[in-house]
Every structure is written in structure tokens, then in C-alpha cells.
Amino acid sequence: MDDIRLIVMDLDGTLLTPPPVQISPKTRDALLQAHAAGIALALCSGRLPDDASVFARNAALPCHVIALNGACMLNAPLGPMVYSHHLAEEDAEQVYERLRNTPTTFAMFCDHDLYVRSLDTPPLPDLVWGTYLAYPGTRTRVFTREADALPLLRRGVSKFVCVHPRDDGVLQQLQAALSSDIPGIALTSSWKDNIEIIRRGVDKGYGIQQLCERLALSPSQVMAFGDQDNDLPMLEACGFPVAMGNAAPSVCDAARFITRSNRDDGIAWALEQLLFSASSRN
């Protein structure tokens, strides 16, 4: 495993522990050990860039940040935007109109801005949309008035997330309709009760490719960790895909190695087995 030069990690269900949601000290120490050995680190999350960044800052973890399912990248936590890709404006408007006329809660993610239309009483907790949405030093702004949606649509939408906890077929019908009517989008999921709508061709795998080009690395030199369907492009784009012990079956099928769960410091355990042990170097 001496050829691994970059470790890329999803956040929720992967790098982060169950509540309290954080990077555990054991996993942080293992990642710092890898970094000290010359291996670059990157977060690759569906979260907003600054929301993802605060986890790294709190853990003093030096890393790149690929956010919004690969739609944007920061060169460091809370750093400047390296690139940002949006849905085509016409596609974003069509998705928005479809969602606002569907009995679901949804959010629109726009670089550092977030619009939420909630039908839930009480509203879904902030954890659904982000943990550090009003944190000192971040650039995130949250909007809830419908009048704010149109300016954000024109500014550029990176992704939509639609949440519907009841298994009554609404999400499946919505996913089928969007897929057939709007060819410029792709649909994935980060949890069993949501769908995520992104620009076709711009996903976590795209983010890894962009970072590899910046670091002059081959994808074969990348180890990536994930747990849900939106991580599949990331795992398929890297040389050594690792599934968490709590991962969805599709993710386990795509992996070369299955580690322990995020509850049990699965990333740290995998690094001990694959990178740090004497047998891994033989």
C-alpha cells in the first residue's frame, strides 16, 4: 500500500461519529499520522463547503474540502473556492417548480447559501441540512422565504435535496419523473429517506478527478471511504475503495475492503490494517 498518496473521506456515516457528530480523537490521530507520512487528506461530502470545513477545523485536520457532492472544492477548510459548478439554470428552475408542487420538504444548496422549504411541523432539525450553518467565521446564509428562492436560482444551484420520511412512493415517483423529464441532471441518495439532485457528470468522482489533477496524482494512488449511494462515483474513481461497516450493500459491493463502522472508528482501523501495519508494507 506504499503507493497511496491521497485519502478521501465522506463525512456522515463515514468520518463522523453518530451523535455527538464529530471526528473522533482516534480517527483524527490516525489521519494525522498518515498526513505526517506524506499522504494528502480530503473531505468529500454532500454538505455545504463551510459546514464540512468546521469539522476539519475543530479536529485541526489539514485537508482539502470537496463539497456539495463534488460540485465545489476548497483548497483548505474555510479557504477560497477552487471551482464551483451549478445545474444549468433552466434545469434548476424545472427541478424547483417540480419540488415546490410536490408535498415534500426540500432544500436548495448554492455554494455558501441554503434555501429550505419545510412542510414538517415542527421543522426537520438543522442536522438534516448541516451542523454548522450559523458558525462564527463561516460564510453560510440560510433562507426560508419563497421570495428568496428566485434570486438564488439565478445565482446558481449546486444541488437539491428532497426529504420525505414516509415510505409511500412519493420519492420514487418524483425520482422517476425528474429522471425522464430533465436529462441534464443526475439523482442519487445520501440516506434512505432522501433524493439528491445534481448536475449530470458532476459528482464525488468528478471531485476526486479534479483534486488528483491539482496534486499531480493518479486515481490509482487514492484510497476513499464511503457508506451511501452518493459515494459510489467516488469509490469507482479511486484505486482503493473502502466501505464502512455500516455501509449500504451497493457500497460494500463496490469496495475492495470493508472496515468497521463509523461508530467504531472504522477509518482508523482500516488505516492501521492497510497502511500502518508491518504486513501492509510487505
Helical spans, DSSP H, in 156-193: 170-181
Task: List domains and CATH numbers for the chain.
Answer: 6-84+203-281 (3.40.50.1000), 89-199 (3.30.1240.10)
78 contacts 138 by C-beta, under 8 angstroms: yes
Please, what is the Cα angle at 76 between 233 and 58, to 5 degrees?
A: 100
66 contacts 8 by C-beta, under 8 angstroms: yes
Q: Which amino acid is at 256?
A: R
What are the pLDDT tens digits along the chain (282 aa)? 779 999 999 999 999 999 999 999 999 999 999 999 999 999 999 999 999 999 999 999 999 999 999 999 999 999 999 999 999 999 999 999 999 998 889 999 999 999 999 987 677 767 689 999 999 999 999 999 999 999 999 999 999 999 987 777 888 899 999 999 999 999 998 887 899 999 999 999 999 999 999 999 999 999 999 999 999 999 999 999 999 999 999 999 999 999 999 999 999 999 999 999 854 554
pTM: 0.94
Strand partners, 270: none
